[in-house]
Structure 1
Amino acid sequence: MDRLKRFFKIITNNNMDALLVTSIPNIRYISNFTGEEGFLLGLNGEAYLIVDSRFTDQAKSEAAKNINVIEYKGKFPPFLQQMLASKKVHWLGIEKVRINYSLYSSLESIPFLKIVPTNDLVEEMRIIKDKEEIETMKKAFKASTKSFNDTLPFIKEGISEKDIAAELEYRFRKNGGEKSSFDTIVASGKRGAFPHGVASDKKIKANEPIVIDFGLFYHGYATDTTRTIILGKPKNKFKKIYGIVKDAQALGRESVKSGVKASNVDKIVRDFIKEKGFGNYFTHGLGHGVGLEIHENPFVNEGSTFTLEENMVITIEPGIYLQGKFGTRIEDTTLVEKEGCFNLTDITHDLIIL
């Protein structure tokens, strides 16, 4: 079933006359439109991509088959109200965590309209990747991996974390990426104990571990990878921690297959790290989905309600963070298969020593 038919089906199944999509990734998924602003309205078996004059030509050139492109003038809420009235829409679904307050307030004030808050309807469509998406993501990870490998020779004592991030992000574009999928994390030495230690002015020093968490967008799809490397000679304490994280991450990948609860995968890895005496230092969920967004369903953590299915794409990223000392994380992005997973990340898990 194509995306548009599935979109109309969720409208019908949720007893709505229409569904207004305001999330840009969701709009792209259904319509192919890559612009940064717009709205998608589904009703009566028709889909309308509604944009202002800045995006009209782009929308017409990109929109998938059977998507009607409409240009609005002036402010969007009055235009939408008139359109909903002409189509006799009474029950309007909205993406409750994806709509801004101003638009929501305008819709709520329309006398003939009943608002139906929805959550993750289109996101649930996106969880299972199709063949085209999988091929795109494989190419994305090739570009991301090459960018990382091309950056390694650049890393030396005395340059800053920002220098490494800048070189890596330059390589993203050289290798076909559109932009970074998030603010590149380069956290060396003590800063490595910050799980989200975005690159700073700190200088790289010899014998300090460096956590590098990076990703790019390629044809709209994100990548996400982390490696912890070291410039110089690793100390025994760090080698021990790195070995635990490496084994935990391998255990996580080995636990992934269709039919397994995401929370169980998290538990297996978390219990292993606890057994090694570092449970209190693994302070975040094991992973998350990746696709048109860097963080999307399904989430892989203790409270996750998701069961893994074939062609979901998830990260496996355990870490141990010793405040005031260093941090270690290894992250791969994997494609769930019936009896295991395919690792989209083709970078060694052995400690990279420069």
Structure 2
Amino acid sequence: MIQERVKNLRAYMATQHADGVVILQPENLRYFSDFTGGEGALVVTHATAELWTDARYTEQAALQSGTVYAVKNHEGKLAAAISGSLAAAGQVLYEQQVLTHYMYEALAARSQGRFVGVDLTPLRAVKTSAEIAATRKACAIADAAFAKVLPRLHPGMTEREAAAQLECEMLLAGSEEKSFTTIVASGKRSAMPHGTATDKPLETGDFITFDFGAVWNGYHSDMTRTIVLGHASQEQKEFYRLVRESQQLGLSLIKPGMNCREADAEVRAFLTERGMGKYFTHSLGHGTGLEIHEAPILSPRSTATLRKNMIVTVEPGLYIEGKYGVRIEDSLAVTATGCEVLTQTSKELMELF
């Protein structure tokens, strides 16, 4: 698999008329080399592939990446080591959102080459069957953990306590870590799209939004469910129904060839026609993988087109400041004809008594 990814990387280099590429982002290091250590750099040219790290990780790097990469110890002189590997390179690519100004200056001072910033994350957007399987497993862990926590929710429990129990259950079920800071936002706080858990007690009649995920073999799941603690009012039921219908529309749009901007626009138009568009304040969805947010993005600014085996979320939400909010989100894999929903927790409005 890694040999194929290096081959694809070199093909990309050719399209950019580049002689080499420097990779420092941990997720890109893992993707292109299998290396999971805490410090390292890949330097790939059309003829060589080197992994620079220090003495803490050389043995690990050799085990994980040594069949494809020459593993070398930079001995505390990473910039000099990278520059030496690129001595014959004319144009060199680097991760424009990752390389620090300090490292850029250190490399530029030691090299005659021209450095060009690029975004390598689109090269990770189409997943292999193994990546999809890992994401499916992460989703199953999150589903199971949520099912265990739901019966424990009660008035007086704090958002922070609910988040801690959810994260604990994911870890006990095999998650490597939480995908991101768990969101538990109740009552008026549910109108905050990224309302991470606080000491606010859960109260009867609250909408409670849970946005969370597990990690399996490095791959992240992402799911949002909004419930009601106690009986939902008719107004809450209608509000929830509208979000659910918009999410079902979004799911129906996911297929190869769909423009990501158009998918976002159709769901946004659906809500606008019902007088609620101004309360949908974020993008329709995003890719997941070794990072919780990665290409493609389903947003008004996107230029991407969906392809088979991409993994994306669909997560419309409505948020009325000072009142409440609802979001429903699934992770899904793009198939040949549509999509496979990977998160299986019910989207019926749950009323917990």
Instruction: Say whether the 8 Å CA contact 2:249–2:267 is kept in structure 1.
Output: yes
The structural deviation recorded for 1:4 is 1.5
- Residue 240 of structure 2 is matched in structure 1 by 242
- Residue 3 of structure 1 is matched in structure 2 by 5
The structural deviation recorded for 1:131 is 1.1
1:24 matched to 2:8: no
The structural deviation recorded for 1:78 is 2.3
- Residue 93 of structure 2 is matched in structure 1 by 93
Whole-Å Cα distance in 1 between the matches of residues 112 and 320 of structure 2? 58
Instruction: Say whether the 8 Å CA contact 1:19–1:42 is kept in structure 2.
Output: yes
Which deviates more from structure 2 when the two are superposed, residues 153-162 or residues 55-64? Answer: 55-64
Residue type of the alignment partner of 1:6:
N
Q: C-alpha deviations, 1:247-294, integer Å up to 9, x for none?
A: 000011011111111111111111111112111000000000011110
Q: Secondary structure at the match of 1:2?
A: helix
Residue type of the alignment partner of 2:344:
D
- Residue 333 of structure 1 is matched in structure 2 by 331
The structural deviation recorded for 1:148 is 1.1
The structural deviation recorded for 1:190 is 0.4
Instruction: Say whether the 8 Å CA contact 1:16–1:93 is kept in structure 2.
Output: yes
Alignment gaps of 5+ in structure 1:
none
Q: 1:1-354 residue pairs with structure 2 within 5 A?
A: 2-63=4-65, 65-85=67-87, 88-118=88-118, 120-121=119-120, 123-354=121-352
Q: Secondary structure at the match of 1:234?
A: coil
Q: Secondary structure at the match of 1:227?
A: strand
Residue type of the alignment partner of 1:134:
I
Residue type of the alignment partner of 2:92:
L
Whole-Å Cα distance in 1 between the matches of residues 243 and 80 of structure 2? 55
Q: C-alpha deviations, 1:62-88, integer Å up to 9, x for none?
A: 116312211110231123233333xx2
Residue type of the alignment partner of 2:308:
E
Alignment gaps of 5+ in structure 2:
none
Instruction: Say whether the 8 Å CA contact 1:107–1:113 is kept in structure 2.
Output: no
Cα distance, 1:83–1:64 mapped onto 2, change above 3 Å = closer
The structural deviation recorded for 1:333 is 0.9
The structural deviation recorded for 1:23 is 1.1
The ranges of structure 1 where at least 4 consecutive aligned residues each deviate by more than 6 angstroms after the TM superposition are none
Q: Secondary structure at the match of 1:179?
A: coil
Whole-Å Cα distance in 1 between the matches of residues 327 and 263 of structure 2? 17
Q: Secondary structure at the match of 1:28?
A: helix
Whole-Å Cα distance in 1 between the matches of residues 84 and 312 of structure 2? 42
Whole-Å Cα distance in 2 between the matches of residues 36 and 215 of structure 1? 23
Instruction: Say whether the 8 Å CA contact 2:43–2:82 is kept in structure 1.
Output: no
Residue type of the alignment partner of 1:272:
F
Q: Secondary structure at the match of 1:284?
A: coil
Instruction: Say whether the 8 Å CA contact 2:244–2:347 is kept in structure 1.
Output: yes
Which deviates more from structure 2 when the two are superposed, residues 14-23 or residues 319-328? Answer: 14-23
Q: Secondary structure at the match of 2:348?
A: coil
For the aligned residue pairs, the C-alpha RMSD in angstroms reads 1.3
Whole-Å Cα distance in 1 between the matches of residues 110 and 218 of structure 2? 35
Using the aligned pairs only, state the percent identity: 38
Whole-Å Cα distance in 1 between the matches of residues 187 and 234 of structure 2? 15
Whole-Å Cα distance in 2 between the matches of residues 259 and 92 of structure 1? 32
The structural deviation recorded for 1:108 is 2.2
Q: Give the TM-score normalised by structure 1.
A: 0.96
Whole-Å Cα distance in 1 between the matches of residues 254 and 90 of structure 2? 44
Which deviates more from structure 2 when the two are superposed, residues 100-109 or residues 215-224? Answer: 100-109
The structural deviation recorded for 1:111 is 5.0
